[in-house]
Chains A and B, each alone.
Chain A
Amino acid sequence: METLKNQISIEFDAISENERLARVVIAAFLAGIDPTLDELEDVKTAVSEAVTNAVIHGYKENGGKVVLRASLSTDEKLTVDIIDYGVGIANVEQAMQPLFTTGVPSERSGMGFSFMEAFMDGLEVESTPREGTSVHMWKHFAKRQTTGTKPILQAAVWNRTGRE
């Protein structure tokens, strides 16, 4: 039975300074359920990726607003939504492919969504061009898996040009 235990919603400017702010906020939100250090870092990393995407891709580094919503159920399931009202993603499936990037290919790894998938239990992305993007992620803390880090990208082959 999933009953909501706690929820927060904050809005902040889509500037790179606030990538850290979002990590601090989510870490503080989780303090009540006493996560392991690894679990905490997993969630911080996933949130950092989603907010970074909003800053870089959603708003093309021209600023805007990002909403972070988080909720915790009584069975210790965390859900996080990172929402922007930026340019949106025309092809979500393509954007979620490992190594795909519309950024400067030599400077961006194209692994933001792969990181979110690896560090959370689930990820859903909804986007409408010119309206924005909503990243929905969740993680169960009650299960307390100790399987270590899932492979982020097993078949990555990095070569001289960065990837092939």
Chain B
Amino acid sequence: MEQNMEEYAIIDNYLCIKMPQEVDHHGAAGIRACADRLILDDKVKNIVFDFENTTFMDSSGLGIIIGRYRKISCFGGKVYAINTNERISRILKASGMSAIIEILV
């Protein structure tokens, strides 16, 4: 399922990405492409991953976060996760991702 652009919003210099219900390798390419185009075009500084609709995420989700973090962190940008359910929070923490992504509750 391709992501459409309604899933992306830019507020100030924050790019907010509404993550799909299932975050896996299949959907990862679409998210990467859309996010990277907006990062380049709109001078986005920070990224907020909104997991409100997400019930499943495998390690491909970490790849998406790491990749975007690398693109913005050299300009001092930060990466946030919001609306994570208990399982997504646990996966992010248990995989050491909380070192680069701030989980807001």
* Residues in A lying within 8 Å of B, measured CB to CB: 16-17, 19-20, 23, 38, 41, 44-45, 48-49, 52, 55-56, 106-109, 111-112, 114-115, 118, 148-163
Contacts and interface: CB of A to CB of B under 8 A. Distances in A.
Interface of B is mostly: helix
23 contacts: A16-B26, A19-B26, A41-B87, A45-B56, A48-B56, A49-B58, A52-B25, A106-B66, A106-B70, A107-B32, A107-B64, A107-B66, A108-B60, A109-B60, A109-B62, A109-B63, A149-B90, A152-B91, A156-B96, A158-B97, A160-B70, A162-B67, A162-B70
A16 B95 contact: no
A150 B94 contact: yes
B100 A41 contact: no
Contacts of A106: 66-67, 70
B91 A56 contact: no
B99 interface: yes
Contact of A44 (B56, B91, B95): B56
Given A38-B87, A151-B94, 13 more contacts: A20-B22, A23-B22, A52-B24, A106-B66, A107-B67, A109-B62, A114-B59, A149-B90, A152-B96, A158-B66, A158-B96, A158-B97, A163-B66
B74 interface: yes
B63 A108 contact: yes
Interface string B76-105: 000000000001001100111101100000
B73 interface: yes
Contacts of B25: 16, 19, 52, 55-56
A109 B56 contact: no
Interface residues of B, number: 28
Contacts of A114: 59, 95
A108 B25 CA distance: 9
A107 B63 contact: yes
Contacts of B74: 160
Nearest to A151: B94
B24 A20 contact: yes
A109 B24 contact: no
A44 B67 CA distance: 24
Contacts of A159: 99-100
B59 A162 contact: no
B74 to A, nearest CB: 6
Contacts of B91: 149, 152
Nearest to A115: B59
